[in-house]
Amino acid sequence: MGSEESYFPVAISAAVSFFTMMVSYYFYGVAQKPKVYTSNEKLEKFLRSHVTSVNQKFYPNAFIWEGRLQSIFGLKLRLPNSHKLPYSREILRMKDGGEIGLDFLEPENVDQNTLVVFILPGLTSSSQTCYVKTLVLSITSKGAIAAVLNNRGLGGVPVKTPRMYSASNYEDVQEVIWYLKKKYPDNPKIAIGTSMGGMVLCKYLTNQPEEAKNTFLTALVISACWDALSGIKSLEKPIINKYIINGGMTRNLQHLARKYRKVLEVRECFDFNKILGSATLREFDSNFTAPQFGFKTVQDYYLDATILNVVSKFSIPVFGFNAEDDPMSPGDSLPKAQALELGSKLALVTTVRGGHLGYLEGWLPTRRNEHYMERFAAEFVGAVMNYGQELLI
């Protein structure tokens, strides 16, 4: 009995010490204020003055604050699939005969002064993907119009031609932008790109600077992979990155390729045995994405998709929003130095935690309609609506 009596106080003391250590680490190492990288005083002042979240600590979910867990559960702890938003859809035919879907959610009392927010979702996301829905609800709560892109084959949009989409090709996006300008000729407009959608948006902004300047007041890019080569290398690290995150993304893309195989396989550049046998995203892109867009190697494709070294071509203010622990865009690959260059039009906001499109908050891992990402986006949209003239540079 004596040995048992002496054991329990030691165990309790150790447990209390461990708990105290973890709580201290959370509050001093995990929960921190975002950092802002920019040489542009106007952009930093705009953020500091009108986007409250930038000046406050981000408290990640206490149970799943690590970046990979944030990335995985970010697709679980938002609106469920059964909760559909009541969009109105328009199908747009592209110049090659392909189709994309454009979903609109408008507030009441829309007029020519109502802000239009063009949203470009991630790799296999659509307007009904959980994080897209919560972003849309946050944006429309401010009184803005949300126009969400559904890429070829996504969100119920059929594939009509033997061509899909990629992280480096912005042709479909440009055609959609032309349409939005016709539909809302006098309305102010901004664009928000998430993950791959942010990469494509940046490709458009840097390749069509004058058109972009005549169309958008500003752009917000969330969880974009600024350096595609660094991103893919990070996704190939064992075990969670490679087998859970990378593997899951690869399977989602293979599902799309399999679903539209009859339309796609007429092209000689495809070997569907290799496509469906791809074990990683790099293998899939090598067998599917790169050849259909004319790249000789997957390395060439990733180099073309990289936007890290072309941010100097931005003609409008661009705000980046990334987490340092994003497994798809790690902190050492973010354009911090580029944002600090003289004359930069980029303001990069980084958080220590948040993962990829995660930014989950709360003490318990439960579903919520708003987390840190949604709140930041809503504050940003509200700031543009009320103080957008401060961004004129």
Active site residues: 195, 326, 356
* Cα separation, 80 vs 30, whole angstroms: 28
- Copy the structure tokens of residue 139: 């944006």
Q: Measured in whole angstroms, how far is the alpha carbon of residue 229 from the centre of its chain? A: 17
Burial of 282 (0-12, 13-18, 19+ CB in 10 A): buried
Q: What is the chain's alpha carbon radius of gyration, rounded to the nearest angstrom?
A: 22
* Cα separation, 27 vs 33, whole angstroms: 11
Residue type (1 letter), 11? A
Residue type (1 letter), 43? L
- Copy the structure tokens of residue 283: 């293998």
* Cα separation, 306 vs 232, whole angstroms: 11
- Specify whether the CB–CB gap between 62 and 31 falls below 8 A: no
Q: The sheet that has 88-93: what strands, in order across it?
A: 35-37, 346-351, 318-323, 219-222, 189-194, 116-120, 145-150, 99-105, 88-93
- Specify whether the CB–CB gap between 83 and 370 falls below 8 A: no
- Specify whether the CB–CB gap between 357 and 373 falls below 8 A: yes
Any residues with CB less than 8 A from the CB of 268 and at least 6 apart, and which? none
Any residues with CB less than 8 A from the CB of 183 and at least 6 apart, and which? none
